[in-house]
Each structure stands twice: as structure tokens, then as C-alpha cells.
Amino acid sequence: MEERKLPNPTLIIVLGVVGILCCCFAGIGLIPAAIALNLSRKAEEVIAENPELYIDKQSTVKAGKIIAIAAIAANLYILVRMAFDIYSMGWDAYKMQFEEAWEQAKRQAEATQ
């Protein structure tokens, strides 16, 4: 049997990893992680139709799906944590704390140069 190309197995992993890396930016990583999860579901449907044609790509799709789910979980945790912090201390105090941390990071960056 001839082996067919599975659509986007590497892209699924890349989007999942980007989703994990972007979770620190206020949950923006949900977007690439959700896309990766959707692509992995479509790839699983293609694999289910003819599993013998995609034996070597099944593990790549499964790994990408796991990474995407982990990215979604990490992003949701960050969003829930931010919402809880804003709720518990108020928007003004949260904003002030963020600005102080930003200024401290800038001072540290200038000191290392």
C-alpha cells in the first residue's frame, strides 16, 4: 500500500508548543492551542478512515494533541489566576502591582547591560 501524507502533523506540535510559550501573555496561547487541538481532531478522523496508511504519523498526532491540551490547561490556569487576583485586590491595585513589577524588570535589564 502506498503511504499518504497526513495533513499538518508537525504544525499541530508547533502550534501546541507556541500555545504553551504564549500562556504567560494573558492567556493568548489559547488561540494556537485551540487550533492545534482542532487540527489534531481532524487528523485523527483521517487516520481513523485508513489507519494502515498513517502508522508512522499516529504518534505525532497524539503527541501534538497532548501538547495542545496541556497548553489549553496552562492558559486557562493563567486566566483564572489573573481573574482571581483582579477580583481579590481590585483592578487599580492589580494594575499598580503590574507596573511596579514592570519597572523593576526594566531596572534589572538596564543594570545587566
- Residue pair 20/14 in contact by the 8 Å Cβ criterion: no
Residue 36: per-residue pLDDT: 97
Residue 4: per-residue pLDDT: 67
Mean pLDDT by 10 residues, the chain (113 residues): 72 95 90 96 90 81 95 96 94 94 94 87
Tell which residue, 49, 17, 50, 56, has the closest CA to residue 36. 17
Residue 65: per-residue pLDDT: 95
Tell which residue, 58, 37, 67, 51, has the closest CA to residue 1. 51
What is the domain partition of the chain in residue ranges? Answer: 9-87
- C-alpha distances in angstroms, 26 versus 46, 83, 106? 34, 10, 20
- Residue pair 59/18 in contact by the 8 Å Cβ criterion: no
